[in-house]
Amino acid sequence: MEQLPVIFKCSHHRQGNSDLAADLFLQGIKSAGGNAETIVLGDMDFKHCIGCLKCRTTEAHRCIFAAQDNAQELYQKIIDAPFTFFSAPIYFYHLPSRLKTFIDRGQWAFEATADKSDFMFDLAERPAYACMVAGRPQGEKLFEGAELSLKFFLRFFKSKLQPAITFRGIDEPHDLKNSQDKCAIMTRSGELAWKRTLKDGC
Ligand SMILES: Cc1cc2nc3c(=O)[nH]c(=O)nc-3n(C[C@H](O)[C@H](O)[C@H](O)COP(=O)(O)O)c2cc1C
């Protein structure tokens, strides 16, 4: 495998539940003989999309802020990776703001796709995985908005989000650690993601 999968830790809080979910996913990948790069997106700041729509007409649909932060570099990682994994807590029924800002800045990829740009059009479809944790034990639509945003953002990178692993009632920083069943789901998911990619020959 030429490029490593990329794991995005998207909580603004380190060493909590979604960080652990990401670490366990990586552990699963490693247990299957693989490896991955981890990006702590929750600690990064990005310029927010200002809706100027310049990316509709710039060369390669480049965002006017591309040289001002690390966002463009991270989009390239999504493009190059055989698969990606996003772990995030639910904040007010949605994704944490830094991840949402990163998603909005991905508007350039929407424009590139709408324009049928070769560099996006010719990409092979790759899977993406996600784990979302929420403190509340109930709420029918707790993960709905977050999952939809991530799914449609990734679609413009030809990355297909698999149904997200969602954990409810995980609130205190060690709640996930204290649930062996949920921890096992995460390591198994990492293992299966790596094996699937090997099988598909990505
Ligand atoms: C700003 C903020 C907003 C939150 N909003 C929600 C929410 O809408 N629904 C919910 O179930 N939990 C909510 N929570 C709880 C977190 O989702 C929960 O504590 C989660 O386990 C934190 O994950 P982390 O340890 O990876 O940061 C919120 C927490 C914070 C800090």
The residue ranges of every structural domain in the chain are 6-200
pLDDT at 120: 87
Residue range 171-199: mean pLDDT, rounded: 97
pLDDT digits (tens, 9 = 90+) for 136-163: 999 989 999 999 999 999 999 999 999 9
Q: Residue 43 is which amino acid? A: D
Q: How far, in Å, from the CA of 15 to the mean position of ligand 1?
A: 14
DSSP letter (8 states) at residue 29: H
Residue nearest to atom 28 of ligand 1 (CA): 91
**Residue 13 Cα: closest atom of ligand 1:** 27
Please answer whether residues 88 and 10 qualify as being in contact, where contact means their C-beta atoms are separated by less than 8 angstroms: yes
Residue range 90-98: mean pLDDT, rounded: 98
Please answer whether residues 84 and 78 qualify as being in contact, where contact means their C-beta atoms are separated by less than 8 angstroms: yes
CATH code 3.40.50.360 for 6-200? yes
Q: How far, in Å, from the CA of 46 to the mean position of ligand 1?
A: 21
Q: Residue 110 is which amino acid? A: F
